[in-house]
Structure 1
Amino acid sequence: MIKCETLKMISIIVPVYNTEAFVKECIESILNQTYQEFELILVDDGSKDKSFAICQEMARKDKRIKIFHQENLGVTAARKKGVENAQGEFICFVDSDDIMADYALEFLISKMTSDIDIVISEANVNESMAHEIYVDKLLRNLLSHTLWGKLYRKELFAKSEALNFRREINIGEDFLGNVCLGLAANHVACLTGKIYHYQKNPNSAMTTFQYSPEYDRIFRAEMEKVLGDEIFKYMGGWCKFQFSILESMIIGKAKFSYDESWIQTLIHNNMQYNPVSIKEWMLMKCRIPLLCRYILLWGYKTKNILTGINFNCIC
């Protein structure tokens, strides 16, 4: 256990929307933490089921629970309201249809030293890294993009635009938020331990999301805005991120032309800044979206080697 003189307040923020089948178990998992120096902020985002009533019932039993209610503005706005009302030195997000291991907070806070601003779990390495490396790894899809399963120093939110995205960004907002927070951070501690239990909810935004050909373009533009002038520092990671957008557009049957300026720039820059994977080489050389889509889908279904091997191929 952590010694009493080192205890720091954590604000746990749970955005709640139509999760009556899950939210009680979620709250109970938080109240049962081995690290008890926390406040629990529940932000009901205009739920139409019994979620808000369940939150009220739980709050009557535990004074550490604070409840806020707003019209349906989306998960990012709910999180923002939670941060604005947080009293803790650190912020931890939990989705209302998930649960935390009882040692989760203790595990995270134990690694939060004076030079660390973010602690993440379920990484593929146990190490601390400068924020530049963290952001690059996020862009390269080498670390988790979720806001849950992590601990953030609260001051990062005042120093960044992490929760100020437009309403239509309803998938990938965690990715954008983590890049924002990473840019504002000093060092990040990465841990391989598992502390969070994601539960599949058939009504979640991820499950019900309807792909729009324009959405990937909007998301790419928003990430470009987040990186701002720093984008030149992360050109390798930025190229990898854009290739994931291009791949998503192909799989999602978006109508586009390889003559679009950003794709032409991507192909040129990626060969300068990164070794080219077989998959990327195929996307650059084929230039027939329909054929690329069939090849990609074949690769996914067969777990083909196309999705994993990298080699230097400046062709």
Structure 2
Amino acid sequence: MKLLSIIIPIYNVEDYLLECVESVCAQTYQSIEIILVDDGSTDKSPQICDELSKRDARIVVIHQENAGGGAARNIGLSIAKGEYIAFVDSDDYISPYMYEKLISILENDSSIDIIECGYVTVGENEKIIFQQNNNDEILVRKFSVEEALVAHINDTSFRQLIWNKVYRRKVLNEVRFPEIKGIDDEFWTYKALGNAESLGLISEQYYAYRQQNQSVMHTLDAKKRLRTLEAKTERHKYIRDKYPNLISNSAASVWFTALYCGQLVYLDKNISNKKEMTRWIYANLRKCIDQDNCKNELNWKQRLWIDLANINFDFTCKMRMILKIGL
């Protein structure tokens, strides 16, 4: 069996860490190494990691000063030995059959470099029991890179989520996370997708994604969420250079991400100069997309919003916020 490296960045998750790691240790796919990267936790997470490593020789623990999830994942990637790579967030848990099912697809089709499964969202204290799929024939939808990137841009599948996938190591050799605190997967996933020969998708749900009020995605303020817009503009430059057929899709995504960020500015009580901030967003938006046309990808309502934004971006963001559109 080929080795799978599972990288788990950890920061102050003492309430969920044991459940997470035990679900990984219980995998029916046995050829695994589990890399726990403690990112300077101040709770009992470091001690839990060390105790877990004593129980299971497949667990490797690294302790580092707090540098963010991206830096922790990069450390994991730098020492991973597996031919396959996977990520798990430390407050989530997975089906015991997840990696057996996903890797069997990679083994059966050497052209598929990334395989993605479905996931279920659970509450902070919710626990689900995964059912084994006794059907040997799992329906695999196969995507070309361009098809996967369209789905990624449209946020229908192959989303920026890194943890419901298994990657062949070769597609990640030169792909690393930005070492910032906050959003990092949005800067990373499209590059991994772009390195694949083809990709596979199954609908079976093998991953439990825990929604916490204190998670990164629930605590970012408007200024920090501008990192999302930065990620989309970087992705647009990548698309323009490597996949010009997808420029229209990408430009539309940047437009509505900018509008979303403008709406968040008006919802953020800590920002006093709201109009100045939305003007800054619009100026950077126009620099990014230049004359790239996206309207042929949009319906008439979406085209109307872009026309309004070009007339008065600040007013359009305010109107969408009041109408609660896109939030």
Query: TM exceeds 0.5?
Result: yes
Superposed CA deviations along residues 91-131 of structure 1, whole A, max 9, x for unmatched, are: 110000000011111121121121110001129x9411111
Q: Which residue of 2 aligns with 1:117?
A: 113
Shift in alpha-carbon separation, 1:271–1:59, aligned structure 2, 3 A: closer
Superposed CA deviations along residues 176-219 of structure 1, whole A, max 9, x for unmatched, are: 21101011111000111111111123332112212207545533
Shift in alpha-carbon separation, 1:39–1:235, aligned structure 2, 3 A: same
Q: Does 1:128 align with 2:151?
A: no
Offset, 1:45: 0.8
Question: Map of 1:118-267 to 2, 5 A cutoff?
Answer: 118-122=114-118, 126-143=140-157, 144-158=159-173, 160-161=174-175, 163-167=176-180, 170-171=182-183, 173-212=184-223, 214-224=226-236, 226-227=238-239, 229-230=241-242, 232-253=244-265, 254-256=277-279, 260=283, 262-263=285-286, 266=289
Q: Does 1:269 align with 2:265?
A: no
What one-letter code is carried by the residue in structure 2 that aligns with 1:156?
A: V
Give SS of 1:121's match.
strand
Give the TM-score, by structure 1 length.
Answer: 0.83
What one-letter code is carried by the residue in structure 2 that aligns with 1:182?
A: L
Question: Which of these residues, 24, 27, 35, is aligned with residue 18 of structure 2?
Answer: 24
Give the TM-score, by structure 2 length.
Answer: 0.80
CA contact (8 A) 1:12 1:92 kept: yes
Shift in alpha-carbon separation, 1:20–1:267, aligned structure 2, 3 A: same
Measured in 2, the distance between the counterparts of 1:300 and 1:46 equals 38
Q: Which residue of 1 aligns with 2:122?
A: none
Measured in 2, the distance between the counterparts of 1:70 and 1:58 equals 17
**Further displaced range: 38-47 or 290-299:** 290-299
Give SS of 2:210's match.
coil
Give SS of 2:279's match.
coil
Measured in 1, the distance between the counterparts of 2:101 and 2:189 equals 20
Give SS of 2:293's match.
helix
Superposed CA deviations along residues 198-250 of structure 1, whole A, max 9, x for unmatched, are: 11233321122122075455334433454462152420221122123222222
**Further displaced range: 285-294 or 34-43:** 285-294
**Further displaced range: 289-298 or 144-153:** 289-298
CA contact (8 A) 2:94 2:208 kept: yes
Offset, 1:142: 1.9
Q: Which residue of 1 aligns with 2:57?
A: 63
**Further displaced range: 232-241 or 268-277:** 268-277
Give SS of 1:212's match.
helix
CA contact (8 A) 1:176 1:226 kept: no
Give SS of 2:38's match.
strand
Measured in 1, the distance between the counterparts of 2:286 and 2:318 equals 20
Shift in alpha-carbon separation, 1:263–1:231, aligned structure 2, 3 A: farther
What one-letter code is carried by the residue in structure 2 that aligns with 1:53?
A: Q
Question: Which of these residues, 42, 53, 56, is aligned with residue 48 of structure 1?
Answer: 42
Question: Map of 1:278-297 to 2, 5 A cutoff?
Answer: 278-285=301-308, 287-297=311-321
Shift in alpha-carbon separation, 1:189–1:56, aligned structure 2, 3 A: same
Shift in alpha-carbon separation, 1:271–1:86, aligned structure 2, 3 A: closer
What one-letter code is carried by the residue in structure 2 that aligns with 1:197?
A: A
In the alignment, structure 2 segments of 5+ residues that lack a partner are: 120-138, 266-276
Shift in alpha-carbon separation, 1:155–1:258, aligned structure 2, 3 A: closer
In the alignment, structure 1 segments of 5+ residues that lack a partner are: 1-6, 302-306, 308-315
**CA RMSD for the aligned pairs?**
2.6
Shift in alpha-carbon separation, 1:231–1:284, aligned structure 2, 3 A: farther
Query: Percent identity between the aligned chains?
Result: 27
